[in-house]
Structure 1
C-alpha cells in the first residue's frame, strides 16, 4: 500500500473528502447520482448488445461524476475518455447513451462554476468551436455533399437535427446556468458587504451618541467640581493662601477638562448628521412615562431592592428599554410587552419580552439591536436578543453597577 505522501494530489483530495464529515452529504449525493447514471447507461447498452470494452467505457464515462466537486478537471477528462472509447468502438453521438451525455454535461457545468466568468465563456466557445469542426468534418467525409447537404439532411432526418441542437444546448445551457449561479453568488456577497457596512455605520453612530450622553453626564459632574472649587475660598473661613491656590488649581483643571471634552465631542459630531439633544438625559425614573407613551399593554416588574445606579447605567438601561419598545411597536404591533428590571449584587439585569410573531429573519441585522448591544458592551456588560422560549422576541442585557 502506498504511503500517503506518495499518492497523486488528486487521489489525496478524494481521500480527504471521504474522511471529512462536513462534505459527506454532497459527496454521497454525487456518488448516488454517478451510480444511477452508470446503471442507466449499462441498461441502455444491454438493449443494444454490448461488449466488455463498451461497458468499461460507459463506466469510465459515468463513474467520475462521483468526484466531480473534488477533482472536476480529472472527472471531466475521464468522462471524455470514456465517451471517446464508445465512439472508437463504433457508437455515433446520436446513439450515445443519454446517461453518458448527462454525466459529461454535469462535469462540464462543475468546471464552469469553479472558474471566472471570462474563462467559463472562453471554454464554452472552445467546446462549441470543436463541435462545429467535428460537424464540418463529418459532412465533408459523409458523401452528403458537404455542408451544402446539411439542410436536406435535417429535413429528411429530424433526429440528426435534434441531436445537433441538443448537443449545442448541452454546452451553452451549463454555461448560462453557471453564469446565473455565479451572478447570484456575487449579489449575495455585495448584499452581505452592504449589510455589514450598514451595521458598522449604525454601531459608529450609536457609539457617538453614547459618547455625547456620557459627555453630558461627566460634564455636569466636572462643572460642579469647578464651581465648588471656585466658590470654596468665599464659603470657607480661615483658608490660607496655599489652600486657596490649590482650590484655584482644581478649578483650572476642571475647566481644562471640560474644554478637552468639548473638543473630543466635536470630533465625534463631525461624522454624525443628527442634531444634538438639548434635553436632560433620561433615566429609569422616567420609565413610567415611557410606558404610557407605548401603543399597547406593557407590564413592568421590579425584582430585588432598588439601589442607586451610576448615571451611565441609568441612561443606558433607559435607552435599551426605549429601543426594545420601539422594536415591539414596529415589528409586533399590538403585542403585550413585559419588562423586568432585576437588581442583583453588582448587576442590573434587563429582560424585555413580547408575545408577537417573533423574528422573521436574522436578528443581528437590525440597527436598534446593534445600538443596544453597543450600549451594554460599552459598560462592560452583555447583551442577547432572539426568539423567546415560548414565542415572541426576547431581549436580555446585564449592566454592571460597579
Structure 2
C-alpha cells in the first residue's frame, strides 16, 4: 500500500471523538492558563493546538499548523506561561507522531533527521540574531526539543513494528483459516463423490441385472435384441468396474472402506429426530405439499443437510427449540431449519456449513445461512428436482 493510498484512507470517515476532545482540551488549557490574551497570542495558541482535531484527516497539514503556531508564539514575544507552552509541545508531539506512523520506517527516520537539522539551523539563526548572551539558553532548549523529537520518532517506530508484527500474525491466521476451509471443502467433496459413487453404482448394477435377465423374461425376443441386451449388460459391468477403479482412491485416502449399506435419505428423518430428542433437544417437523419420490442425489443431500443442521444445534445451542420445514414444490425441494438459540457466532457451523454448500452447489441449488429474523440461527436451502434428474 502506497503512502498516498494510506493518506486517502485516513480521509475517509468522521473525526474521531478522542481527537476532538484532545484538540479542544489542549486549546482550552493553553488559552486559559496563558498570561496574555491579546489579539495575537490567542489565535497563535489556537493554531498550535486546535489542528490536532484533524490529525488523522490530514497529518501533514496538522503538523504544519502546530509548527507555525509554536514558532509564531516564540517570535511574538508575549511568552505564554510554561503550562501553556507544555500544551503546545504536546500538540506538536502528537501531530509529529501521527505523521511518522503513516510513513515507512526509512521515510520516518529521514523526516526525523530533517526536523532535527532544521531545529539546529533555527537555533544557529536565533543565536546570531539575539547575541551570544542567550546562546546557551537557546542551545539547552534546542537540545531538549531534539530529545523530544527523537523520543517521538522512537515511539512511532516501536508502534509501527508492533503493528507490522500484528499484521503478519493476522495474515498467518487468515491463511491458516483459509487452508483449513479449503481442506474441509476438499474432504467434503471426496465424501460426496464416494456417496455419489454408491448411488450411481447401484443404478448401473440394476441396469446390468435387468439387461441380463431381459432375454429370459421377454418372450419371442429377436436375436438382434438379445445381442443388444447382452451388449448393454457388458457395458454396464465394465462401467461399474471403471468407476470402482476411479473412485477407489477416495475411499483409500479417507480410510473408509467400500461398505455396501445403502445411502440414507429423507425416509430416515424419524431416526434423525429421535436421535436429537434423545440428546435432550426439541425438534418439530412440518411437511408442506405432497411427498414425492426424489432423485437419489437430492434425497441424500437433503438428509445430510438436516443431519448437519441438527448437529450444529446440539453443538452451539443445545437448549434451543428447532423447527424443520420441508416443502415439496413443483420443481424444488425447499428446506428450512430454524432455532431460537443465541444466533450466529464465529464458530457456528464451521466445516458443516461448507459441506452443506458443496452439496447444494453440486445440485445447482441455493443456500442461505445466518441470523433468523425472529432470532436464533436459520438455514434455508433449495434443491432443484428437474436438474438433479437430468444429471442422474
- Indicate the TM-score class for this superposition, using the shorter chain for normalisation: 0.7 to 0.9
Q: CA deviation at 1:208?
A: 1.8
Tell me whether 1:25 sits opposite 2:9 in the alignment.
no
Tell me whether 1:273 sits opposite 2:273 in the alignment.
no
Q: CA deviation at 1:72?
A: 3.4
8 Å contact kept, 1:381–1:397: yes
| TM-score normalized with structure 2 length | 0.75
RMSD of the alignment, in Å? Answer: 4.4
Distance in structure 2 (CA, Å) of the matches to 1:120 and 1:274: 56
Tell me whether 1:387 sits opposite 2:374 in the alignment.
no
Q: Which residue of 2 aligns with 1:333?
A: 318
Distance in structure 2 (CA, Å) of the matches to 1:399 and 1:313: 7
Please list every run of 5 or more consecutive structure 2 residues that lacks an aligned counterpart in the other structure. 127-131, 387-392
Distance in structure 2 (CA, Å) of the matches to 1:72 and 1:57: 19
Count of matched residue positions in the alignment of Structure 1 and Structure 2: 371
Q: What are the superposed Cα offsets for residues 124-158 of structure 1, whole Å, 9 maximum, x if unpaired?
A: 97489769979x999x997879x9xx9xxxxxxxx
**Relative to structure 2, which stretch is displaced further, 42-51 or 334-343?**
42-51
Q: CA deviation at 1:33?
A: 5.4
8 Å contact kept, 1:37–1:103: no
Q: CA deviation at 1:231?
A: 3.1
Residue pairs, 1:155-174, within 5 angstroms:
169-174=151-156
Q: CA deviation at 1:384?
A: 1.8
8 Å contact kept, 2:97–2:152: no
8 Å contact kept, 1:105–1:171: no
Residue pairs, 1:37-56, within 5 angstroms:
39-40=27-28, 43=31, 46-48=34-36, 52=40
Distance in structure 1 (CA, Å) of the matches to 2:14 and 2:255: 51
8 Å contact kept, 1:34–1:64: no
Distance in structure 2 (CA, Å) of the matches to 1:104 and 1:30: 16
Tell me whether 1:191 sits opposite 2:178 in the alignment.
no
8 Å contact kept, 1:41–1:100: no
Residue pairs, 1:3-402, within 5 angstroms:
23-26=12-15, 29=17, 32=20, 36=24, 39-40=27-28, 43=31, 46-48=34-36, 52=40, 58-62=45-49, 64-65=51-52, 67-87=54-74, 97-116=85-104, 118-119=105-106, 122=109, 126=113, 169-266=151-248, 268=250, 273-276=254-257, 278=259, 279-294=261-276, 295-296=279-280, 297-361=282-346, 363=348, 366-402=350-386
Q: CA deviation at 1:378?
A: 1.8
8 Å contact kept, 1:349–1:396: yes
Q: CA deviation at 1:232?
A: 2.6
Distance in structure 2 (CA, Å) of the matches to 1:209 and 1:180: 43
Q: CA deviation at 1:366?
A: 1.0
Q: What are the superposed Cα offsets for residues 232-276 of structure 1, whole Å, 9 maximum, x if unpaired?
A: 334434333322332233233323433443344246557x53524
8 Å contact kept, 2:205–2:236: yes
Distance in structure 2 (CA, Å) of the matches to 1:201 and 1:120: 42
Distance in structure 2 (CA, Å) of the matches to 1:44 and 1:274: 78
Distance in structure 1 (CA, Å) of the matches to 2:293 and 2:103: 63
Distance in structure 1 (CA, Å) of the matches to 2:232 and 2:284: 47
The 1:42/1:381 distance shift into structure 2, 3 A limit, reads same
Distance in structure 1 (CA, Å) of the matches to 2:274 and 2:375: 25
Please list every run of 5 or more consecutive structure 1 residues that lacks an aligned counterpart in the other structure. 1-9, 151-158
- SS where residue 97 of structure 1 aligns? helix
Distance in structure 1 (CA, Å) of the matches to 2:289 and 2:83: 83
Distance in structure 2 (CA, Å) of the matches to 1:369 and 1:332: 16
Distance in structure 1 (CA, Å) of the matches to 2:324 and 2:204: 34
- SS where residue 25 of structure 1 aligns? coil
Q: CA deviation at 1:222?
A: 1.3
The 1:191/1:311 distance shift into structure 2, 3 A limit, reads same
